[in-house]
Structure 1
Amino acid sequence: MMQAAEQFGNAATVTGLSPSKIYKMLTLPAEVDRAEFIEQPHVIPETGEEKTVHDMTTRELEAVVKAEKQPDKPMQAQPDKQARRVTELPMAEAVKRVKPSLWAQVDDMTVKELKMFAVLSHTEQERCLNEWAEKYQAGGLLEFSDLIGKYVKGISEDNFDMFIFIAKEVGRLQKTAYVMINREVSQRLDKVAHGLDELFNNPPETDEELNKELKCVSMKLKRK
């Protein structure tokens, strides 16, 4: 147990873990951050499922730890990949996944936002809330669910900024078209807005592909 205390200290992340799971993780390479390893989802080698340490069986954890020690590892789910995880959790599971110290900050979330937010690791939850407070909460530029979607879908900062810019420009042009009572332009802008929503909800596999798609939308917008 002394070795466990040295590696994990009094980390809150081990709360609720069985001694057998903690013992299995003692053999992880020294460079692996224990807290992040526990929080982040990992791919189970035998099934391909993604689970956090809390959700794994001891046998599944043993396989993941073994894979982590391989030269060609890791079997860890990558945060910036589109297929890394589900986009929302059942409510009962979501309540368990939110970092306890953050509950005061998520109290006014909608049910859907909470289900999405709980998918994120504790580190990502903190980053998401900080980014919302520092950049977007006061500006009214987007919904909180959009920012959560950025993290869930692994959208890069540059591409997310482009999403916001295009959405803002579409809104501006839609108001202009409405004032001018130009129904044809309004309909075309509605299609652009719909396409942008589809692109955000179902982005391509890579950031490069997404960037190309966004540039195409931007070019279409300039022709309106």
Structure 2
Amino acid sequence: MSYTAIIIPCYNEAERLDVELFTDFLNRFATFSLIFVDDGSKDKTLEKLEEIKTSTPQRVKIISNKINRGKAEAVRNGILTAYATGDFQQFGFLDADLSTPFSEFTDITDYMVNNNKKAVFGSRLKLEDAKIVRSPLRHIIGRIIAAFIRMTINTPFYDTQCGAKVFTSDIIEVAFNKPFISRWLFDVEIILRLKKHWKKDFGDLLYEYPIKEWNQVDGSKIRFIDMIKIPFELLKIKIKK
């Protein structure tokens, strides 16, 4: 049986964590475990996570950072912690607000396993039957960021920043062993690391999967100043790649 660890970074998520959705998922999918990384939250996030853990304590782990280290390091810490156990064949991460629902995450995982991919990234490509719900402003900002990414590092991806991605165990060290340069654009760094590692096989082993459902949840932790920094962070990533 194949087991998957889902890493969920959390920073002041008490108001957005839906305990019932998490516990229902754990009860229905016995091959998935949740690794929550509380990244220095100052609200009652940790209490909510403990509440989720009580339902299936053997498949929920909580990592608590005393200070905020950023989403990139929270995800990296969670994945490396799960990888060190030797219990999992797949590793992924998902946003705490479940803007990408669990149903899409399981589809992404199934696609990777059934199609011999090494990594599958969710993409909010709005196909005809897809239910992608986000404000016009968020959509415009997302496309501007995507354009900067394509121009700076020449990646063919439509949406590098969708918070749902899955990896096989044999590429975890390649993708996550080194700390990331950027707190928010670490997805781009992962792509570059895999591209450098796989070379000509890159296009065959990594797949951008168009998810069918995504819902914007208010309360994003990305500030306006973070968006201003994006071109400069991309330049740093390009120089150090």
The normalised TM-score by structure 1 is: 0.30
Higher helix share: 1
Higher relative contact order (CA 8 A, sep 6+): 2
Which structure has the larger Rg? 1
Higher strand share: 2
The normalised TM-score by structure 2 is: 0.29
